[in-house]
A and B are shown apart, each in its own frame.
Chain A
Amino acid sequence: MSADQLTARMHAIWANLPGWGQLAAVNHTSIGKRFMVTGAVFFVIGGVLAMLLRTQLALPMQTIIDADAYNQLFTMHGTVMMFLFAIPILEGLALYMIPKLIGARDLVFPRISSLGYYSYLFGGIILMSSLFLGVAPDSGWFMYTPLSSAEFSPGPGSDFWLLGITFVEISAMAAGVELTVSILKSRAPGMTLTKMPIFCWYILAMALMIVFGFPPLILASILLELERAVGMPFFAVAGGGDPILWQHLFWLFGHPEVYIIFLPAAAVISTVIPVFAGRPIIGYRWLVLAIILTAFISFGLWVHHMFTVGIPQLAQAFFSIASMMVAIPTAIQVFVWVATLWHGRVTYNLPMLWVFGFLMVFVCGGLTGVMLALVPFNWQVHDTHFVVAHLHYVLIGGMLYPLIAGIYYWLPHFSGRMPSLRMGLWGFWLTFIGMNATFLLMHLTGLLGMPRRIFTYSGDMGWSWLNLLSSVGGFVMAFGLGLVILDIILHFRFGEKAKPNPWQADTLEWATGTPPTPYNFASIPDIDTRHPLWEKPELMTSIPAGEHRLATIEHGRREILGTSAITGKLQAIYHLPTNSYLPLLAALSLAVVCIGLLIRVYPMALVGLLVAAFFLFRWSWENGSHPAMAPPTPDEDPSLPLHSRTTDGPGRWGMIVTLMADGALYLALIFGWLYLWTVSPEWQMPGESLLSVPVLLVSGVLVTVATLLFHRLTAALNQGQAHGLQMKLWLVTFVGFVHLALLITALVQAPLAITESAHDAVLFFVVIYLLFHSLLVTVVTALQALRVKYGYVSARYPYEPNVVRPLWSYTLGIYWCSVATFIFLPMVWGA
């Protein structure tokens, strides 16, 4: 087949559907772009809100905006900027870039990308609608209880926040899981972990941090929503709860989140600098070390947001020192960058200008960060405008500047055209000057005692001139950013056409075409260097010419290569799903659930949930050798099998990573339990177990039996023995259902006063959590039995039971762990 024919066939298989069919797109390039464009729109909205805030604060005792409106505005500004702009736009960049950097044609779970996007979009729209209805959340972006609880925020504002943000978080979790698995399992053959572009290390760390960092917030949001809607007193002192638990759970997420935002931004910096210094980065391994250090240590800092709640000073000191210690990996990175520039020859242009701006602003923010970590100093400036200044230095310097640098750098990749230098320069300088005018002075405003989140102040405090200058600076900055956005929009029409690989970069994304083809690589080369395009420039032509692997397309499947996690050895072909409306439909039904919960029409929420479950199960049905996925074809090569013909594949890894996230949520729950037990002022532990212990034990034995049976049947299947498979699966399903029934009995019989006692409320929540997992795994097993009947699972297709297997182990694990910590431990300890 000639190269042209190959290209045409590839297009036919990989392109999105035309017209409305775009809604069914699952391709990572499309989804990544959608994330970024949507994120930019939310940035503009968040920016407009910021300008309103600055207008109100410009002069003392102004009444342009009243307290109620101001509170909604700053809450929404913070929420929009963090949850709807910073995280999603960087996720979008990662989704767009990762397959192109590792030599893959798409991410391993394309439909999940699409589900993530729609969840983000709908969640964002639901949240924004509250602003237009005038009932936006108004307790600040970290929603401290009891201010955000039903008693002090009776309106729907907090519900919008809790439900909308949880919905949006589905997209973060989706991105976390699929980026992790894609980076580990679908790199070009030969690309070992240490041959990956450094960008991928950053994103791998970010993705894993999402996996472990977001669940505490998801848990906290669910608990708070339950408290508001049902009255379960998790955070209310009177019932034995504790408002400080919310702060712990929020910041357990909130601090890692800051690094979830910073790591991809640093990834851009580490990618752009070597290209414009004309030499490989100096200290790749130091960067890897710094990335791993950051990813871990940032989970040990969260209490530095809570230094004023009255925790013992010794405990504060632990967090203080840990917080200062993240300065070390950050400094390692800064000096790696300096060294690279030092030993290279720099080409000046727009991306480098933003990189330089990043350095100045970010280092300044980092230094004030170290100051804030010093406990006695923190007691003075916490919750003042000093903190507002600090957080904007790190967020704007450490996230927005690198993002803009990256956008300028990859513009030719997105559009095939070059940015314009003149307008870009104006944009940069106005932004840079405006940003420093706004926020540099604000440090002093804070030191002079201005608390944050006040809608006005009196003129005799000495804050007036500072605020006026900050407001002027804010408008200059807004103008600069407006120019940048305009420049980017205009360049799509007026930009000069880009040459292939216009910056002479070293990484593979520039071999996917400018703009890229939907399949990225017509053939997939073996990669054994960190700088493929510098060392083998011929790849630019040999890849599209189909001279490498996977250049056959007659089978009509979307295929990528599956490789081993560390060494990048070729293992299998991963076949990917094609365009599908199922993610859209599932997200729409989830939106119905969300709205139902918001307006408290619970039947509507229930119907939405059932419909969503239907679409999700339908989605899982169209897998493996199902005709819509990868029906058997005569030309399959047994030496390089399709993954659904093997016992391992991306789905299994995805399951495991998802369970890690689930486990993080469960750990957060146990933390909450132990926390309330030991610290909460009015906690009451009943003398004996409220759930029937014998029933729990029998139910536990049954789930153990079911898990063992499932493991045995999978092991046998992997040996090629599929005899009686369907019967065995039905048996497991049956045992699972009996286990479920017993657990439900135990719950129904228990005299739980869930609205009076935090203890009972937590216990109830745990049982529901267990029930959810047991139900899920049992239904999935039943579906497996059906799939055996249809021939999608058999000795030839042993893959899917291997995917389900970890879910059974997890269900078993949490069951006994819960019985031990929530039932036995209090019995033993209390006695």
Chain B
Amino acid sequence: MTRSHWMVHLVGGLTLWCLWFVLLYGGLGIMCSVASPPLAAGQWTWINGVLLILTLAFTVLLVTLARWCWYRQETEPSELQVYVRLSSALYGMSAFAVLAVGLPVGVLPPCA
């Protein structure tokens, strides 16, 4: 594996986090402008459903990447192991950040 490859992983997790965040916030805005469910419908609307699936998909993806990096540690030359471990931690933290920030999707109504 090349060296710059690990630089990508160093920022990969949080870049995915940013991407997810844009999809989440932008998607909510667009979906609410297309078809806004009434407030009385509460939090169990199709919009919340879409956002929830999005959130879970990204969490799974990030956890997978974190594990993948973790198991690559030994196979990399020693001078690169630092980056591998950091990348793994960052993927893990990004997964946590996705899950945590996505949490209110199950609590709050979407468009009010």
Contacts and interface: CB of A to CB of B under 8 A. Distances in A.
Interface of A: 192-194, 285, 288-289, 292-293, 296-297, 299-300, 303, 312-315, 317-318, 321-322, 325, 565-567, 674-675, 678-679
Given A313-B108, A567-B79, A293 B93 contact: yes
A676 B4 CA distance: 38
Given A322-B101, A679-B29, A567 B3 contact: yes
Contacts of A674: 26
8 contacts: A289-B86, A292-B90, A296-B15, A314-B104, A317-B107, A318-B102, A321-B101, A678-B29
A314 B31 CA distance: 13
B25 A315 contact: yes
B29 A566 contact: no
A293 B103 CA distance: 20
Nearest to A324: B100
A565 B7 contact: yes
B89 A314 contact: no
Interface of B: 3-4, 6-7, 10-11, 14-15, 17-18, 21, 24-26, 28-30, 32-33, 48, 79, 82-83, 85-86, 89-90, 93, 97, 100-105, 107-112
Given A300-B17, A315-B28, 6 more contacts: A288-B86, A292-B14, A293-B93, A297-B17, A315-B29, A317-B107
Contacts of B100: 321, 325
Output the residue of B21, B26, B111 with the most chain A CB within 10 A.
Answer: B21
Contacts of B48: 314
A293 B112 contact: no
A674 B82 CA distance: 41
Contact of A317 (B21, B104, B112): B104
Contacts of B102: 318
Contacts of A293: 14, 90, 93
Contacts of B108: 313-314, 317
B21 A322 contact: yes
B28 A325 contact: no
A255 to B, nearest CB: 13
Contacts of A299: 18
Given A312-B32, A317-B104, A300 B18 contact: yes
Contacts of A322: 21, 97, 101
B32 A297 contact: no
Contacts of A318: 21, 24-25, 101-102, 104
B35 to A, nearest CB: 13
Contacts of B103: 321
Contacts of A194: 82-83
A321 B104 contact: yes
A174 to B, nearest CB: 23
Q: Which 3 pairs of residues, A with B, have the shortest CB-CB distance?
A: A296-B14, A317-B104, A314-B108
Contacts of B11: 292, 296
B80 to A, nearest CB: 8
Contacts of A317: 104, 107-108
A254 B88 CA distance: 30
Nearest to B104: A317
B11 to A, nearest CB: 7
A312 B3 contact: no
Nearest to A323: B101
A618 to B, nearest CB: 35
A321 B97 CA distance: 9
Contacts of B21: 300, 318, 322
Given A285-B86, A289-B89, A314 B14 contact: no
Contacts of A679: 29, 33
Contacts of B18: 296, 299-300
Contacts of B24: 318
Given A289-B90, A292-B10, A678 B33 contact: yes
A236 B40 CA distance: 33
A322 B14 CA distance: 13
Nearest to A321: B101
B112 A566 contact: no
A176 B30 CA distance: 34
Contacts of A566: 3-4, 6-7, 83
